[in-house]
A and B are shown apart, each in its own frame.
Chain A
Amino acid sequence: MQGQLTTGWKILEENALHWEQWGEQYALYDALSGETHLLPELSARLLQHLTIQPNTSGALARLLCDDSEELCDQAFVDNVSQLLMQLQAAGLAENVQL
């Protein structure tokens, strides 16, 4: 019997990302694309978790909640899913089979 496939998220190339932090704003240079991004804190922390390992959106939401003691309700999980899609559109993350 085949195991159930799980979809999750990963970054394209960990070593390509270069950061600068100013308070709650982050500048990010992606050496893979040559693009520069300005990210709010939540998006930056999301990407930084993905540099550690690929993960599901639910697990990522829980990690972010643990970091900040935010309420990990469905609205927050949905928000994280939206951010992941925005990061995908920006060429910073991709949706994969884990």
Chain B
Amino acid sequence: MRLLAGLAHEECRQRLADRGILLQTGPFIVEVRSDLDGFTGLLQQFYGQFPMVEPPAIADFHVQLLSPPGIRRWWRPQVRFLLDGQSPFQPFQLSHAFPLFEWGLNWSIAMQAQQYLMLHSAAVERAGKVLLLPAWPGCGKSTLCAALVSRGWRLFSDEFGLVRADDGQLVPMPRPIPLKNKSIDVIRDFSPDMEFGPEFHGTRKGTVAHLRTPDASAAQLHIPAPPGWLVFPRYRAGASLRLKPIDKPQAFLKLVNNSFNYQLLGLQGFQTVTRLVRNCECSILSYSDLDEAVDTLTQLADA
């Protein structure tokens, strides 16, 4: 299977502008088209290690990043995200095309991938089992996920826990990890060897920089794994580390409230969440020191 990095920059640019590129990102095939010059290099930087799929493969998502026509092209240029030809968002400034692509793709998955139970959760794997870190924004989920990945955990996703209803396995969807504001320097200090992209200032979430998916995680994007641990992270400045076990009913309720589509899945959602809780050690992690948190979770997995 050919990787995106196998395309020369110009060939990649032409294909994006012409018939598009089919990228495998976990279980999904994403058709990407774009007429933006600056987008090609970032797509290659962050998705170069991902396989391309050739027609007649059918894409799950048809995504376009286009510059709007008219005078806007010259005066405060913008970029539009289109899914299946429809534009669900207001345009972003042109320089934010890559964050828009990432957010737009997340939105597309959250709207359409109803064949999975979708948790708002980071997911990383070690020793054949997945650690789920379900949390809403602001709890330090992506930062903790990035720190674990930098210490050798396999990245499944920083944003989605995708659970297969038929066997309860977690499905990997490794993609760039978007770090925001202070988290960018936290991870730069924590793991100077990780590859970052450019910083995008003034986005709707402040400054954003993406961490490149490790090659080893991208190479295993077809390999699912069973859940092993369910840890609800809570970052609090100055908090001492505490990994507190919680009972299954409490974990169940927290997970139901954390899911994008529990209600929509009905009985299948109930059965998938109960199986997940049954098969996991469940706890709450309070922390402020990233080193301590990573060590504790790694000891939990290696026990």
Contacts and interface: CB of A to CB of B under 8 A. Distances in A.
Interface residues of B, number: 15
B268 to A, nearest CB: 10
Give chain B's interface secondary structure class.
helix
A31 B77 CA distance: 50
Contacts of A25: 247-249
Interface residues of A, number: 11
Contacts, number: 33
A27 interface: yes
A18 B270 contact: yes
A2 B172 CA distance: 68
Contact of B266 (A22, A23, A27, A31): A31
Contacts of A29: 267, 270
Contacts of B253: 38
Give chain A's interface secondary structure class.
strand
B86 interface: no
Contacts of A18: 267, 270-271
A6 to B, nearest CB: 34
A23 B248 CA distance: 9
Nearest to A27: B252
Contacts of A36: 256, 262, 270
Interface of B: 247-249, 252-253, 256, 262-263, 266-267, 270-271, 274, 277-278
20 contacts: A18-B270, A20-B252, A20-B270, A20-B274, A20-B278, A22-B247, A22-B252, A23-B247, A23-B248, A25-B248, A25-B249, A27-B252, A27-B270, A29-B267, A29-B270, A31-B267, A34-B266, A36-B256, A38-B252, A38-B253
Interface of A: 18, 20, 22-23, 25, 27, 29, 31, 34, 36, 38
